[in-house]
Chains A and B, each alone.
Chain A
Amino acid sequence: MSFLQLTIYTLKCVCYLTLAFYFIKVMAFLLRGHPAARSHRLREAMATAYTLVAVVLISLSTEAILPFIQNVLETVDLVHTPPTYMRISLALCAGLVCTAFICNFSRSLWTLKSLDHGIFEPVPEWADLSESRPRQLRLEFAVRTIAALLFIALEFDLKKIATASLTEDVIDLARGGTPQNYLSQAGGRGLLLYFFLVVWWLVGLAIAKKQMPKKLLWFYLAGLFNSFFVFLYSSRTTNTDHAMLLLLIVAVAAIGALYMILYVLSDIAKTVVHSLNRWRLNQNA
């Protein structure tokens, strides 16, 4: 196994780990209830079914990492033939961007589910605060619904990227059409999604004031930048100028992606550490 093959395998593992973690968290919520939400155990068949569908789509989308990397490298080849080390660095950056994209979908599963029950972990009084501000609550609900819709649409886009073949481009051309560009579609939808998430954060700021976590805003802004990167580079008429711009922003996009991945992984790590502490306390008791 080469270094890049190993890296791509590791990135896939990170995606699966994140997905498994949030999936189990959501399922535990659905099946066992949640004390902070005054429980709703075994009442949400629709939400359970949707979660299962989302898990299948997100897990399929991990197959998009390699085509994504390949696309970035081929775009760079249009402007320059970079040396091997730069090619590997670009592949790593592209892999990080795609992984961050996928990991955030897994995280969104939990965020959307808990918000439906008036729980927003960083702001313990979220339910009371939002109920005391009905206008902001209505706006928050509207923005959250749009984000959820875009979230579902993006899952399908990622699945298409993962399962599409370059042969389809030829089939489309042979039928007199134009090759589909699923990556560009996903980038465009990602831009919209993160835009609405930033709007949601601002509405949340009106509800929770200073309690609204600033790190989350940086997380969404990093996602917005990464979506811009995906949208920009994968536009069909990639020419020399596009490729040059891609080279300029790929490093920045990778830093944003790394921040997103670390944010998600730290979320997992915190939960694991807290659980271990509780377990130790229970053992001692």
Chain B
Amino acid sequence: MARNTRNLRRTPFQNSAQTLKGRATLGQIVRLPVILLVFLIAGAVLTGCTDRTARESRAAGKLTLALPVADWWTAAPFIVSQKAPFKERGLELATLEVNSGLASKNAVVAGTADIGISAAAPLALAAASGEELVILGTYLHSPTVIGIVRPSEEVVGSVPSEPIAVVPSTISEFALYHYLARIGKQHLLEQGQIRQLQLKPPDIPTALRNGSAKSAVIWEPFLSLSEEQPRLKADRTELKYDVSLYIITRPSILANRPEAVRAFLEGIDIACRRLNEKPEESRLQVERHFGFSKNFLSPTWSSVEYRYLFSKDSLRSEISRDAEIAKKLGYIKAVPSIDYLLPQNPPLLQN
């Protein structure tokens, strides 16, 4: 007993030399993990190298796409095609799930993703900050994916009830300004006279349900999901705010991996075409994916035009529109030049 106590007072490493013969010494026990650890690290390094070599041997390699997966209109081509058009071109497409186009753009700028998908509003802010981005084109256009949710008794053309839930620095806030400007009340937003509740998109239906927000300007599917609540109505035509989605990347990705970028753009072009070939089947597939009831997407599905385009004029006009709004909202001091966001030679020209 005395001997045991004495042994226990020593550190485990001191103890090892005095353990009984025939039993594993503590030194051996500790050594075993170290040896196995060395093997594990070596294995991991070798696996990593092999994997990298295998990836590099493929034509296009791997790209990470920051995709707002909860927005069916954004994700539809990826849901319908299941990434097949990208795989066919040797591109391994990983997805980073984000909540908005702003988050997608930020993920590309920060470097957690290689390719992003964003509307014009975040790009106008990016241009003002001189963020390193390149626009590769657009793949969808719609005038009705964003709308106002407000109490049923409210009159069309009036200021929505406060507090108004918005997603800041996105088309949600910019569309609200656009609407207020149309009804001559933009000064309310410019001078901070409207109470806003700034939320992430999935939180908006819940905020409307529990009464912390009285109205909201939000995009699909949160617009339709909010509308399902009693005493609320959604208006998709009141805003008159056209939305295009832009495919963006960092200039370094475009310069160093043009094949991967080309494969991505060709893939999205094919995905849009396949979706357009079977629109009803595609709609049902997307409805199933999100667990929506049958025909839930019918009111808006046909208003979304999926088509890969690269048109410098339309890019300039839409981003400039949102840059003007950003200036009025006080986000930026001057409307920036967006020419640096446009590549000299677009990787895939419109057919």
Q: Which range holds the interface residue count of chain B?
A: 35 or more
Q: Decide: B106 and A169 in contact? CB cutoff 8 A.
A: no
Q: Decide: A124 and B11 in contact? CB cutoff 8 A.
A: yes
Selecting from B19-27, B152-160, B263-271, B306-314, the interface stretch reads B19-27
Q: Using Cβ atoms and an 8 Å threshold, which residues of chain B touch A284?
A: none
Q: Using Cβ atoms and an 8 Å threshold, which residues of chain A touch B129?
A: 81, 83-84
In the assembled complex, the CB of A133 is this many whole angstroms from the nearest CB of chain B, namely 16
Contacts of B44-95 to chain A: CB distance below 8 A: 44, 64, 68-70, 72
CA A166 to CA B221, docked complex, whole Å: 13
In the assembled complex, the CB of B297 is this many whole angstroms from the nearest CB of chain A, namely 11
Q: Decide: B29 and A34 in contact? CB cutoff 8 A.
A: yes
A-side interface residues, number (CB < 8 Å):
67
Contacts of A18-66 to chain B: CB distance below 8 A: 20-21, 24-25, 28-29, 32-36, 39, 66
Q: Decide: A35 and B200 in contact? CB cutoff 8 A.
A: no
Q: Using Cβ atoms and an 8 Å threshold, which residues of chain A touch B27?
A: 275, 278-279, 282
Q: Is A17 an interface residue (CB 8 A)?
A: yes
Q: Decide: B33 and A28 in contact? CB cutoff 8 A.
A: yes
From known contacts A4-B111, A34-B26, A69-B112, infer whether A170 and B200 are also in contact, taking CB-CB under 8 Å.
Answer: no
Q: Among A16, A81, A125, A167, which residue has its beta carbon within 8 angstroms of that of B69?
A: A167
Binary interface encoding of chain B residues 165-209 relative to chain A, with 1 for a CB under 8 A from any of its CBs, else 0: 000110000000000000000000000000001111011011100
Q: Using Cβ atoms and an 8 Å threshold, which residues of chain B touch A248?
A: none
Name A38's closest neighbour in chain B (CB-CB): B4
Q: Decide: B291 and A175 in contact? CB cutoff 8 A.
A: yes
Selecting from A96-104, A216-224, A234-242, A249-257, the interface stretch reads A234-242
Q: Using Cβ atoms and an 8 Å threshold, which residues of chain B touch A192?
A: none
Q: Is A91 an interface residue (CB 8 A)?
A: yes
Q: Is B131 an interface residue (CB 8 A)?
A: yes
Q: Among B24, B33, B169, B221, which residue has its beta carbon within 8 angstroms of that of A170?
A: B221
Q: Decide: B32 and A28 in contact? CB cutoff 8 A.
A: yes
Q: Is A127 an interface residue (CB 8 A)?
A: yes
Q: Decide: B290 and A29 in contact? CB cutoff 8 A.
A: no
CA A127 to CA B290, docked complex, whole Å: 56
Q: Using Cβ atoms and an 8 Å threshold, which residues of chain B touch A81?
A: 125, 129, 169, 331
Q: Using Cβ atoms and an 8 Å threshold, which residues of chain B touch A35?
A: 15-16, 19-20, 23-26, 29
Q: Is A266 an interface residue (CB 8 A)?
A: no
Name A6's closest neighbour in chain B (CB-CB): B111
CA A173 to CA B24, docked complex, whole Å: 58
Q: Decide: A39 and B11 in contact? CB cutoff 8 A.
A: no
Selecting from B96-104, B137-145, B236-244, B338-346, the interface stretch reads B96-104
Q: Using Cβ atoms and an 8 Å threshold, which residues of chain A touch B11?
A: 124
Q: Using Cβ atoms and an 8 Å threshold, which residues of chain B touch A145?
A: none
Q: Decide: A272 and B34 in contact? CB cutoff 8 A.
A: yes
In the assembled complex, the CB of B114 is this many whole angstroms from the nearest CB of chain A, namely 8
In the assembled complex, the CB of A57 is this many whole angstroms from the nearest CB of chain B, namely 19
Q: Among B13, B26, B103, which residue has its beta carbon within 8 angstroms of that of A74?
A: B103
Q: Decide: B8 and A84 in contact? CB cutoff 8 A.
A: no
Q: Is B36 an interface residue (CB 8 A)?
A: yes
Q: Using Cβ atoms and an 8 Å threshold, which residues of chain B touch A215?
A: none
CA A174 to CA B198, docked complex, whole Å: 22
CA A128 to CA B70, docked complex, whole Å: 57
Q: Decide: A20 and B40 in contact? CB cutoff 8 A.
A: yes
Q: Is B216 an interface residue (CB 8 A)?
A: no
Q: Decide: B112 and A91 in contact? CB cutoff 8 A.
A: yes
In the assembled complex, the CB of B85 is this many whole angstroms from the nearest CB of chain A, namely 20
Q: Using Cβ atoms and an 8 Å threshold, which residues of chain A touch B168?
A: 77-79
| Sampled A-B contacts (7; CB under 8 Å) | A66-B96, A74-B103, A125-B5, A165-B69, A166-B202, A174-B221, A239-B198
